[in-house]
């Protein structure tokens, strides 16, 4: 699941900064249509969690980054801080998510269909499907079919060379 993020909303009114976070949210919601929408999201979307609950100032004039959202499963061990050195008129915020690193996906074999022996492939596939025991559930049947296709392809279709690096989407 991807994090749900909303706009960062700053309010530089000193009277609002001195109030508790819930009061600030309701004041902003009353004064702005966007604030009303964000207030509604904070209460009605079950997968959103407010990260800046301490109300630290994030603007050089004392404004507070009122809303910073993430999905609840990402925000369980989240650390939200202000960066010590990076700033312009807004201070840089650092949000650290304590999650394990994702493993790179297993590289699947790629067969060269132009050099395939399709008669041998069909023969191997037929013999594998006839010899296999029928599975009573749909997942077992799918696994049996996929395994048969891979085994027949391994015998009748040569593999292509794997690229030296994975494709990188430059548009992201």
Q: Answer yes or no: do 22 and 91 share one domain.
A: yes
Do residue 92 and residue 117 come from a single domain? no
The answer on 120 and 93 residing in a single domain is no
Q: Is 91 among the domain residues? A: yes
Q: Over 19-75, what HEC string results? A: CCHHHHHHHHHHHCHHHHHHHHHHHHCCCCEECCCCCCECECCCCEECCCEECCCCC
**Given 97, 121, 148, which residue is the final one in a domain?**
97
Residue 167 falls inside a structural domain: no
Q: How far apart are CA 168 and CA 82, in angstroms?
A: 32
Angstrom CA distances, 95 to 43, 69, 154, 156, stand at 22, 11, 47, 52
Please tell me whether residues 69 and 117 are part of one structural domain: no
Residue 171: per-residue pLDDT: 60
Q: Is 131 exposed, middle or buried (0-12, 13-18, 19+ CB in 10 A)?
A: exposed
The Cα–Cα gap between 164 and 172 comes to: 21
In a domain, 40, yes or no: yes
**For the chain, what is the domain count?**
2
* pTM beyond 0.75, yes or no: no
pLDDT in tens, the chain (172 residues): 444 333 344 444 443 444 444 445 555 445 556 556 666 766 777 666 666 666 666 666 666 554 556 666 666 777 777 777 777 766 777 777 777 777 777 777 889 999 999 999 999 999 998 887 777 888 888 888 999 999 999 999 999 886 666 666 666 5
* Residue of 67, 60, 69 whose CA lies nearest to 12: 60
The reported pLDDT for the residue numbered 64 is: 58
Residue 5's alpha-carbon distances to 56, 68, 71, 77, in angstroms, are 19, 7, 8, 17
Domain extent for 59: 10-97
């Amino acid at each position: 699941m991807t994090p749900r993020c909303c706009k960062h909303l700053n309010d530089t009114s000193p009277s609002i900064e001195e109030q508790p976070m819930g009061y600030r949210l309701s004041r902003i919601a009353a004064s702005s249509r966007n604030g009303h929408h964000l207030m509604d999201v904070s209460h009605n979307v079950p997968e959103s969690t407010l990260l800046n609950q301490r109300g630290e100032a994030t603007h050089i004039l004392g404004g507070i980054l009122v809303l910073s959202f993430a999905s609840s499963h990402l925000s369980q061990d989240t650390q939200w801080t202000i960066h010590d050195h990076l700033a312009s008129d807004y201070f840089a915020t650092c949000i650290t998510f304590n999650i394990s690193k994702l493993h790179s996906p297993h590289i699947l074999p790629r067969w060269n269909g132009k050099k395939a022996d399709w008669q041998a492939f069909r023969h191997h596939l037929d013999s594998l499907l006839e010899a296999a025991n029928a599975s009573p559930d749909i997942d077992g049947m799918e696994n049996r079919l996929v395994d048969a296709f891979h085994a027949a392809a391994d015998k009748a279709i040569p593999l292509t060379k794997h690229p030296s690096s994975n494709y990188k989407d430059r548009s992201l």
